[in-house]
């Protein structure tokens, strides 16, 4: 097989396995057997092996002696840490976006905001969350900071399984809209400091909402004081 074809197959293997993990077709803790994956995706085992090694570097796959590769599980504590790291990087990206944004790019950001508002009013919180991701991606594209974009993409991939959890927190969706509006307004005004601060505050609030969602979905022991009352 020519080198270019090998490279193409390896890239395809990486993309297919990665997407299966992010879509939860391959679940946290699930074993990743090279032979089974090769048959599933119609690819060579060598390409799958290379893809798994790359995904391990990204934090999506975990390899253990005598057990092999598995989909790495990420708990709430680590998910919060990832959001904190993203906050620093995306704050930098927002600063660059405020510096570089053209009127056409600002108009596109405002259009996404309007769509988010419509989804919220319709009660389509999943659709709103997807537009949220699109807005963040657009800001990264405007920023043009390749190093930040590369690191953020890796962090997002690790955190994608937790991204919808914050919807469970009462009032969070409305606050998220307001936070995104402040980010876009700062970018439109080319106010680098406000854009960076607005993004930092937004992702800090997302991290706090994730902590709250964990508390909402984790059974708590009964309080002795409440029982006495």
Parse the chain into domains and list their residue ranges.
9-71, 76-211
Residue range 9-71 forms a domain whose CATH class is mainly alpha
Tell whether the model's pLDDT for residue 137 goes beyond 80. Answer: yes
Helix, strand or coil, per DSSP, at residue 61: strand
Question: Pick the residue with more confidence: 217 or 139?
Answer: 139
User: What pLDDT is stored for residue 220 in this prediction?
Assistant: 42
Most confident of the ranges 1-10, 60-69, 82-91: 82-91
Q: Which residue has the tokens 């904190």?
A: 84
- The model's confidence at residue 111, banded by pLDDT at 50, 70 and 90, is very high
pLDDT at residue 144 above 90? yes
Enclosing H/E stretch for 71: strand 68-71
The region of weakest confidence among 1-10, 21-30, 109-118 is 1-10
pLDDT band at 23 (very low <50, low <70, confident <90, very high): confident
Q: Which tokens sit at 206?
A: 């997302």
**pLDDT over threshold 80, residue 2:** no
User: Residue 208's pLDDT is what?
Assistant: 87
Average of per-residue pLDDT values in the chain = 86
Q: Dihedral of the CA atoms 40, 152, 173, 183 (nearest 10)? A: -150
d(CA 158, CA 174): 25
Q: Do domains 9-71 and 76-211 have the same CATH topology?
A: no
User: Which of the given ranges, 3-7, 82-86, 135-139, 158-162, has the highest pLDDT on average?
Assistant: 135-139
Element (H, E) at 145: none
DSSP, collapsed to helix, strand or coil, labels residue 73 as coil
Q: Which CATH class is domain 76-211?
A: mainly alpha
For 120-143, what is the mean pLDDT?
Answer: 92
Q: Quick check: 228 pLDDT over 60?
A: no
């Amino acid at each position: 097989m020519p080198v270019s074809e090998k490279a193409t197959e390896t890239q395809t293997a990486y993309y297919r396995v990665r997407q299966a993990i992010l879509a939860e077709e391959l679940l946290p803790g699930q074993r990743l057997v090279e032979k089974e994956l090769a048959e599933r995706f119609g690819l060579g085992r060598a390409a799958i092996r290379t893809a798994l090694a790359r995904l391990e570097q990204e934090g999506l796959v975990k390899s253990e002696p005598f057990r092999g590769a598995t989909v790495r599980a990420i708990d709430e504590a680590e998910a919060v840490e990832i959001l904190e790291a993203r906050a620093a990087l995306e704050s930098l990206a927002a600063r660059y976006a405020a510096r570089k944004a053209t009127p056409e790019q600002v108009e596109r950001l405002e259009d996404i905001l309007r769509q988010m508002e419509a989804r919220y009013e319709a009660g389509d919180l999943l659709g709103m969350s997807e537009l949220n991701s699109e807005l963040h991606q657009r800001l990264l594209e405007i920023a043009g900071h390749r190093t930040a974009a590369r690191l953020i993409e890796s962090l997002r991939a690790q955190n994608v399984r937790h991204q919808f959890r914050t919807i469970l927190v009462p009032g969070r969706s409305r606050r998220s809209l307001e936070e995104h509006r402040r980010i876009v307004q700062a970018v439109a005004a080319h106010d680098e400091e406000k854009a960076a601060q607005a993004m930092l505050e937004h992702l800090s609030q997302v991290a706090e909402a994730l902590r709250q969602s964990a508390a909402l979905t984790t059974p708590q022991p009964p309080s002795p004081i409440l029982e006495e009352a």
